[in-house]
Structure 1
């Protein structure tokens, strides 16, 4: 029950989960409680959105979510910029007049819920850690696509791989919609009027900031991107010997000078050829002057912009954790340190591998929470850890956390002056 899930009532589908899905059962699932629209052309409207996500990217994600369903059925959707619409998507916090059972509870738990036709509403928890790529955070696209299914009349599916499973699926190389989703929507609205159903794999939808946005105002988009990491959270962070910060998010990175001036977003590929988007962790080594990147079970090592021989390699085979939360070069040990959940690993560089007697418990880092997204040693002597909009200052002499707070508004050296002046943070 602690897993993030849809807050819409399962109706009969939870009891049906123990039975094998069949066409007859599917008709009951979609028609008994959900109902359907009695027209094929529907309008939708995004009433509001999280302030830390660019509006044009949210609109792209929502449009893509509706197109998932129109690609495999006879439905056609149009966005209404304002005024009435058949389907309305709104972000709320806590109780929002849906009854106490539907009140949102912050990060985790029920992320969203929706109403069947013909009320046509989907509600989302504005306090959730929403993201528009497949790395860190709750993927807004997949949750919207699921809730849109409810507004079209679909109930929860007992098929684990289905988009309409009560627990939100993760994006992968597989198709977003399962055979169960497609048959269910076609049972209500029929097949596409022209051509065949179009299916797309999840990897197409992993980075909406990389989609073509020529039809949006370029100046507004550039202003949004220039402080994009300040308005939400990032994938990884590290610092070099000149105290320049490198902040990574999706397929871009920012350089923040020691004086706190942030660069415009830069694409990863020209600087580190072959490096994938959405990295899990990064560390710059004071010992070798090299950048180490980690994603999944693989790692990359660059001297400048040159990939070192033998990389990328399968670091999980060397005992390093898959999908590490944070990477750090720790000067006191003269080693890399990887953090994963409640444990940490001390890693040598030559040869690359986990030191004996590790992993150890995170309790050694007194006061540090699990699941941090990055860490940097500061020139004043502390190590700063980050997660979402929070930071933790770790005193290397006392070996404990001595302060915590909001990094974008309290740490001037993070380069968020422009974002702070707009007063739209979090």
Structure 2
């Protein structure tokens, strides 16, 4: 006990002198606890070993400042202490001190891994939790030779679950809301735990984004340590909600050092991805499971979370960089939404998604239907062909037969008279199957197994139409 007290007093004395102003006792203990908890200082192995030297503490503080993007003075200050209080991962921070690059902590001896989600976020529900976690796995499989499969009937390689500060089944209990958000074990243990006391969300800066935190913890489960690059996914501190999140170069180089680069070649048409969800749903009008390589489209859109959704019958599938995910029931994502849609369109302006069928309109925010919907269509004809959002004038275009109308969703205003498609969209077909504006800003029209791409002047580009199955579905 005297040795421990001496250790504490020496640490506190150094902190006070380094900062130039005394911290209170609570702050001093907080600093020491943090440096010890996250591996910046190592507890002495021997019972009567000497206390930390000032140099050891200064090195620990400097290392923390480096990874946090702060001036690496080695001296404690209010900014450094504030950074220590930010929400973060519960895994320790042993960094690669030589190259400042990614740190590798282990690897799986196989490239096809199974996973199981044992519990879900009460805030998000089972379906949204599964979608977020599946998308998190996709970040890693998109850049490596790894493949992931969700299982339910046998032992999984990676097991994900939610635990609170008082929950059983977690060897490292969480600390309540804030600070430690989640933790994971390195290969081949396969355990990933999330703090159920956090407010888990998607599509909003409020709360904690489950998709990004899950991707970080899966990185640990695959063998990556924490990164010293503050902008990397594998940095220890949570950087907040990022709707267009992409892996940092350090993340990609690290995971590829373990498992190799993706071998499937990318085509000239790049498409966003979303892992499939498998929540059960009841179809309102049964149809066979579509074959994306053979069956046509009812609708297509760049929808929630910047994912590309294709619709046919009762089913929806997402288009990825390397093909398509297996179709699933539409109502598994958008509860209460029927199949055989006429059109679907997502508005980045309002964050709402609109679905058209017959003489009715459904409106969703994310995957939750807005109150009062569906509503009858009163100012446009029933059974439209397609719809798209055009960012230039921030309006939704409604296509029917050979004409289109423009709709200002905030003003509920439609153009008085339909206009010929050929008047604005030069060289484009009529009687469309589907249409949308993709993330590159280009407009795409789909009809009868082929598609047209239009340039910024809304003229069909040279070389089109091309095969939808070959270029979009990668058949």
TM-score by structure 1 length? Answer: 0.47
Flag the structure with more relative contact order, 1 or 2, with Cα contacts below 8 A and sequence separation at least 6: 1
TM-score by structure 2 length? Answer: 0.43
